[in-house]
Structure 1
Amino acid sequence: MSAVHLQVDGPIARIVIDNPAKLNAFTVEMLNQLEAHCATLERDLSVRGVLLCSAGERAFCAGADIKAWAALSPTDFARHWVREGHRVFDRLARLSKPTIAVIQAHAFGGGLELATACDIRVMAPGATLALPEAQVGIVPGWSGTQRLARLLPEPVLKEMALFGRRLSAERALALGFLAEVSDDPMATAQAIADGLLKASPRAHEVAKYQIHAGVGEDAAAMIEALGGGMIGATDDKTEGAAAFAEKRKPDFSGR
């Protein structure tokens, strides 16, 4: 049974984390479902933006389901649980469509890492952010010490990961981690997302690639994607492919 739903009803899609009985904690199956939805969204040209939200009022996402990894061997924990989760969150972060995390309640551990993988975040005033992994004997593994380190000052990140302090919505907003704090984060996120419809989707895609290249978010792939888009629009690319198919020497024009 799916616990991560994709809802596409118009240009703004929604990914819904739906495991409220376990505070929306992630299992292996949920990671696989999220990855599949990202692949679907990447190919759907009708979708202009994505809201990432969750069910229930107690937690946006409490991170990884401890029962899903507690019995794993050190090798399997590192090779599969950490690396596969990291890969899936990277897939979300590098989605060509703009994404907004709608944080209606607490986001802890992997839940905070999930929100961090989105482009911007909107949060309810009573929600908090935390990295409590050390309290169960592990460390952040889904980009909490890497991607999050680009978005929060080092001392603040250490407060959370080393000292277990929670980050309030008010402080997260002041630090620039949030776009807005709202009593109705879904409505606010939807209003922000609707602004995407006023501009070019390809311009949004390329701007996202440029920003990611600038901050080091898979910079090599972003640079090559930009180069590929540039060369793909040339007459030379069309001529090269045609010459290959026709088994002749290409006549490049430089256009």
Structure 2
Amino acid sequence: MDGASAATGEKQSLLPPSQQEGLRPDQPNEGNPAASQEMAASFLKTSTLSVRKKLFQQTGFPVYCTSHGFYEEDVKKKLQQFTGGSIDLQKEDDGIGILTLNNPSKKNALSGVMMLQLLEKVIELENWKEGKGLIVCGAKNTFCSGSDLNTVKSIGTSKDGVQLCMFMQNTLTRFMRLPLISVALVQGRAMGGGAEFTTACDFRLMTPSSEIRFVHKEMGIIPSWGGTARLIEIVGSRQTLKILSGALKLESTVALKIGIADEILQSSDESQSLEEARRWLQQFISGPPEVIRALKTVVSSGRELALEEALETERDILSTLWGGPANLEAVAKNKKFNK
């Protein structure tokens, strides 16, 4: 639950009566025999780090599974009952995707079906090998007001709230790990869960009249889609505590000053601000897709993994680029950058 609406009304459980376990994710591949022997020799020292690294490198590996008491299929069955709106994805030839939160009659609040579609679009983006960048925006010149009230009303128990929490943390963590450089285009308001969604993007661009507000305290809860942890990474723990405990209204100038926003765009017009965001993003995604995607991946590994694992990830990804087409072309052109 994201805190944009109060949790009231009829309560229906997301958990199955039998609490039966679903399929667990496959165990990570331990590699070739030589690598396995070497890992076994230093098992006590490196096993935890090795497993963590392998899990990170598996595309789409979830934060939670049935061993954590998370029952994804049951959550999906519940969420699909709450219709309205859509998540639209447009993949363009220049390697930029446009992900649109489309539920304008409710200020782009996420219905249950939209939450399911968001996961589907993340999976699609994980497999988009030509992709380099992604812009997330809302329809009709506003970003997102959080969860749709009808969905929230039916998830009134603590257990149900935790199930939805785990579902959205899984989804937004997979989104954050996409090998695409992502930008949240904040037009209008990003409230509650919408504010949390902006923190899952690499950058945030705001129009002059837009605002971000974490309203969870006013709803008697906390951010539960991973927004707190990500916000701390962006602005630090002291600023995060002020923002959350004060339910502060972060207008664009304030957001830029404290570091949530990366830039304030010139226009508040829906189409013009989207073009501005596209031009802003272009400066970071020029180049071959394999290089841009590799850069995003090593930054993600540096953020999430221990130093030794992050260094190994850099080494492994470099091995896929060194001597590759982009590298050989640059060397052949004798590029120099010290002029």
Answer whether TM exceeds 0.5 for this pair: yes
Aligned equivalent of 2:265 = 182
Give the Å deviation of 1:214.
Answer: 2.7
Structure 1 position 213 matched with structure 2 position 301? yes
Amino acid at match of 1:128: E
Aligned equivalent of 2:176 = 93
Structure 1 position 12 matched with structure 2 position 70? no
Structure 1 position 117 matched with structure 2 position 200? yes
Aligned equivalent of 2:110 = 26
Q: Distance in 2 between matches of 1:68 and 1:21?
A: 15
Aligned equivalent of 1:192 = 280
Q: Distance in 1 between matches of 2:287 and 2:252?
A: 30
Q: Distance in 1 between matches of 2:275 and 2:237?
A: 32
The question of whether the paired residues in 2 share the 8 Å contact of 1:132 and 1:160 is answered with no
Give the Å deviation of 1:37.
Answer: 1.1
RMSD over aligned CA atoms reads 2.5
SS in 1 for 2:183: strand
Aligned equivalent of 1:245 = none
Structure 1 position 46 matched with structure 2 position 134? no
The question of whether the paired residues in 2 share the 8 Å contact of 1:15 and 1:50 is answered with yes
Q: Distance in 2 between matches of 1:148 and 1:41?
A: 24
Aligned equivalent of 1:237 = none
SS in 2 for 1:5: strand
The question of whether the paired residues in 2 share the 8 Å contact of 1:99 and 1:119 is answered with yes
Give the Å deviation of 1:219.
Answer: 8.6
Give the Å deviation of 1:4.
Answer: 0.5
Q: Distance in 2 between matches of 1:53 and 1:221?
A: 34
Structure 1, residues 136-195: CA drift from partner, whole Å, max 9, x if none? 221110112111111123332222211222112112112222221013331221102223
Structure 1 position 3 matched with structure 2 position 91? no
Aligned equivalent of 1:105 = 188
Give the Å deviation of 1:116.
Answer: 0.9
Aligned equivalent of 2:211 = 128
SS in 2 for 1:4: strand
Give the Å deviation of 1:215.
Answer: 2.7
Larger radius of gyration: 2
Give the Å deviation of 1:230.
Answer: 5.3
Q: Distance in 1 between matches of 2:105 and 2:227?
A: 24
Q: Distance in 2 between matches of 1:3 and 1:221?
A: 38
Q: Distance in 1 between matches of 2:302 and 2:310?
A: 9
Q: Distance in 1 between matches of 2:130 and 2:302?
A: 28
Give the Å deviation of 1:93.
Answer: 0.7
* C-alpha spacing 1:61/1:218, structure 2 compared with 1 (3 Å): farther
Give the Å deviation of 1:39.
Answer: 1.4
The question of whether the paired residues in 2 share the 8 Å contact of 1:209 and 1:223 is answered with no
Q: 2:146 aligns with which of 49, 63, 71?
A: 63
Q: Distance in 1 between matches of 2:198 and 2:218?
A: 21
Q: Distance in 2 between matches of 1:175 and 1:206?
A: 29
SS in 1 for 2:235: coil
TM-score (norm 2): 0.62
TM-score (norm 1): 0.81
Give the Å deviation of 1:87.
Answer: 0.9
Q: Distance in 2 between matches of 1:62 and 1:225?
A: 37
Higher relative CO (Cα under 8 Å, sequence separation at least 6) belongs to 2
Gaps of 5+ in 1: 235-255
Give the Å deviation of 1:218.
Answer: 9.6
* C-alpha spacing 1:107/1:34, structure 2 compared with 1 (3 Å): same
SS in 2 for 1:61: coil
* C-alpha spacing 1:208/1:48, structure 2 compared with 1 (3 Å): closer
Q: How many residues align?
A: 232
Amino acid at match of 2:202: D
